[in-house]
Structure 1
Amino acid sequence: MRKTNVSKLYETYPHLTQIDELWGTRDCREYLKRLMNDTRDGHRRGFPGDHARTILRLLVEHDREFPQFEESITSDWRDTVRESRGDMQG
């Protein structure tokens, strides 16, 4: 069960109830990340602070509950270094 209170977020942005439908999936994590980043070439206004914090809390909570979907920056970086050195072994 999700702990983050989303009532005010959903009241203001009803379309974000999609988070509930996606909760526990890789798609949910991607959706939350997209909400926090400008994907409209600088035309996104962004969320007011309270709502942005709620979305960030949701992302953190999702990562804690479903760590299998969390991106591994360290392993991605290691793979990039190996590729640049040419020492990747399939």
Structure 2
Amino acid sequence: MRKTNVSKLYEAYPHLRRIDELWGTRDCREFINRLMNDTRDGQRRGFPGDHARTILRLLMEHDREFPQFEENITSDWRDTVGESRRGIQG
């Protein structure tokens, strides 16, 4: 059961109710993450502060509850650095 209060977010942006349908899936994490990034070549205005914070809380809550879908940026970065170092040394 989600703890983040989304009533004001959904009131302002009813199409974001899709989060409820996707909750607990990799698609949900990707959907929320896309909301936080500009995918419109600089044309996205962004969300007002209160709604942006709610979306961030949803992402953090989803990652805590479903860590298997969280992107592991650190290990990806380490793999890339390791490959670069091997290429330089070898």
Q: TM-score, normalised by structure 2?
A: 0.91
SS at match of 1:74: helix
Counting aligned pairs with the same residue, the percent is 86
Matched, 1:62 2:62: yes
Which of 76-85 and 21-30 deviates more?
76-85
Note the C-alpha offset of 1:37: 0.7
- Pairs aligned (count): 87
Aligned to 1:2: 2
Give the deviation of 1:35 after TM superposition.
0.3
Q: Secondary structure at the match of 1:68?
A: helix
1:10-32 per-position Cα deviation (integer Å, ceiling 9, x unaligned): 01100000000110011111111
1:52 aligned counterpart, secondary structure: helix
Moved over 3 A (4+): none
The 3-state SS of whatever aligns with 1:24 is: coil
Question: What residue in structure 1 maps to residue 28 of structure 2?
Answer: 28
Gaps of 5+ in 1: none
After superposition, the CA RMSD in angstroms is 1.1
Shift of 1:77: 0.9
Q: Which blocks of at least 5 consecutive residues in structure 2 are unaligned?
A: none
